[in-house]
Amino acid sequence: MTDQAYNFAYLDEQTKRMIRRAILKGLAIPGYQVPFASREMPMPYGWGTGGVQVSAAVMTADDTFKVIDQGADDTTNAVSIRKFFEATAQVATTTKTSDASVIQTRHRIPEEGLTEGQILVYQVPIPEPLRFLEPRESETRKMHSLEEYGLMHVKLYEDISRHGHIATSYAYPVRVEGRYVMDPSPIPKFDNPKLGGCPAIQLFGAGREQRIYALPPYTDVVSLDFEDHPFEASKADHPCGLCGAQDSYLDEVITDDAGARMFVCSDTDYCTGRQAAGHKGKDAA
């Protein structure tokens, strides 16, 4: 170890052990927020310190690592975290979803279906779904332990009374295996149906809030709703401007000062893959 500046994947082995224990507990109790001793990471809070620690704890030298930020492989957050693990763990990195064994994500689930053996690591800013309804952490923990989730529906009720429909469009609360209500991190609700029955392991790390939670493969995950206002996975009603995909989640990009705009896949890997396969959207050059 003396010839190296850092231990493998930056964190020391005792820290990784502690995080792995939290992950195992989280997997054993799907949706339950496990407290862990979050470390200072060489990046600011809000940049994925929780996700990075979880990735570091599960990573092996044989892994292939992918980072996406809002679906994209080429934004600052994604590039810097990818470089971080290239430098500290010398792992192979990729942008292809199907080639990766560990995928760290900020606010998206890849369009391409995940497979068994893959691990999806989410960066979570606020793990507590009840936070803005009940500010006392002591009280929300009690509500989780006693399964008192009526308040979560109060939030959805307020949405409908104010907007006529459930206007929550990201961080849409879900119920895991009929037990814990969980914040799926700020993924668009378009991605919510992909949480349940997923063959990959899903791990959630919140660094500042010091919480880890997890969904084992093929977990039952249900988005909360009302009988007369059922959950709807929504997206912009357009095809992708570059690859023409009808079924992917889209970013709206303003292209000039006159209000012109285009809709493109937020998942860059999915979009480039489709373009390489010959699909073309109306805005493709």
By annotation, the residues acting in catalysis are 31, 240, 243, 265, 271
Position among 92, 160, 222, 284 found at the interface with other proteins (CB under 8 A): 160
135 backbone dihedrals φ, ψ, rounded to 5°: -70, -20
Region binding other proteins by CB under 8 A among candidate stretches 80-88, 112-120, 154-162, 210-218: 154-162
Cβ pair 139, 219 in contact under 8 A: no
The three-state secondary structure class of 126 is: coil
Cβ pair 57, 23 in contact under 8 A: yes
Cβ pair 215, 202 in contact under 8 A: yes
Q: Which is nearer to other proteins, 96 or 141 (CB)?
A: 141
Residue count, binding to other proteins (CB under 8 A): 16
Per-residue mark of binding to other proteins, 198-237 (x: CB under 8 A): ----------------------------xxxx--------
* Residue 174 C-beta: closest distance to other proteins, Å: 15
6 makes contact with other proteins (CB under 8 A):
no
167 makes contact with other proteins (CB under 8 A):
no
* Residue 150 C-beta: closest distance to other proteins, Å: 3
* Residue 147 C-beta: closest distance to other proteins, Å: 8
**Closest Cα to residue 182, out of 222, 154, 209?**
222
As given in the structure block, the two tokens for residue 264 are 């493109």
157 makes contact with other proteins (CB under 8 A):
yes
CB atoms within 10 A of CB 158: 14
Cβ pair 87, 50 in contact under 8 A: no
- Kindly identify the residues of this chain, within the stretch 107-136, that bind other proteins according to CB under 8 A: 133
148 makes contact with other proteins (CB under 8 A):
yes
Cβ pair 140, 148 in contact under 8 A: no
* Residue 230 C-beta: closest distance to other proteins, Å: 10
Helices 76-89 and 49-58 pack at an angle, to 10 degrees, of 30
The gap from C-alpha 223 to its chain's centroid, in whole angstroms, comes to: 15
Q: Which is nearer to other proteins, 126 or 151 (CB)?
A: 151
146 makes contact with other proteins (CB under 8 A):
yes
Q: Which is nearer to other proteins, 148 or 283 (CB)?
A: 148
Cβ pair 73, 95 in contact under 8 A: yes
Residue with tokens 């009840």: 130
Binding site for other proteins (CB under 8 A): 133, 146, 148, 150-151, 153-154, 157-158, 160-162, 226-229
